[in-house]
């Protein structure tokens, strides 16, 4: 059984220009980091011309699809029935994208089958993490 889920999604950048073209993005979930989701945008889709990856909690994505959530760099909110808005705040500015909610639901369903919500802590190897942290302190 795979421990990683990757799903391409179509994102639409919301900007002043009318009808910006869709940009590809990839959602990524790894059982080794069970609380986090990553969303990656390829270099051609970014202002800097380099791949950009945002990491945020799976719970933020789940709750933000129902009602507005997030107070930091990443905010999520529903937009009608079939779209979800993700806002990414950085010192350089804010990117606002729309993603089809169905794509996000499929991704979240797959992550839930890999690691059920509420059982993420069972995936953590705390003994190994503590041993790594303590290594070299004697």
Residues forming beta bridges with residue 30, ordered by sequence position? 4
Tokens for 12, please give them. 């639409």
Residue 116 or 19, more confident:
116
CA–CA dist 70, 60 (Å, integer): 7
Calculate mean pLDDT across residues 65-86.
94
pLDDT (tens digit, 9 = 90+) per residue, 84-128? Answer: 999 999 888 888 999 999 999 999 999 989 887 766 666 666 555
Strands 36-41 and 22-30, bridge-based pairing: antiparallel
Buried b (16+ CB within 10 A) or exposed e, 65-102: beeebbeeebbbbbeeeebbbbbbeeeeeebebbbebe
Share of the chain above pLDDT 90, in %: 42
- pLDDT for the residue 121: 67
Calculate mean pLDDT across residues 46-51.
78
- pLDDT for the residue 2: 67
- pLDDT for the residue 98: 93
Tokens for 36, please give them. 């986090």
Contacts 24+ apart (CB under 8 A), 64-67: 65/101, 65/104, 65/105, 65/108
């Amino acid at each position: 059984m795979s421990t990683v889920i990757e799903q391409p999604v179509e994102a639409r950048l919301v900007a002043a220009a009318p009808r910006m073209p869709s940009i590809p993005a990839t959602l990524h979930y790894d059982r080794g980091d069970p609380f986090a989701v990553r969303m990656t945008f390829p270099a051609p889709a970014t202002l800097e011309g380099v791949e950009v990856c945002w990491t945020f909690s799976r719970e933020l994505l789940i709750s933000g699809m129902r009602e507005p959530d997030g107070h930091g760099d990443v905010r999520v909110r529903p937009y009608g029935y079939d779209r979800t808005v993700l806002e990414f705040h950085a010192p350089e500015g804010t990117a606002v994208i729309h993603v089809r909610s169905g794509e996000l639901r499929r991704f979240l369903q797959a992550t839930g089958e890999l690691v059920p919500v509420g059982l993420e802590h069972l995936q953590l190897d705390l003994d190994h993490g503590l041993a790594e942290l303590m290594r070299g302190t004697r």
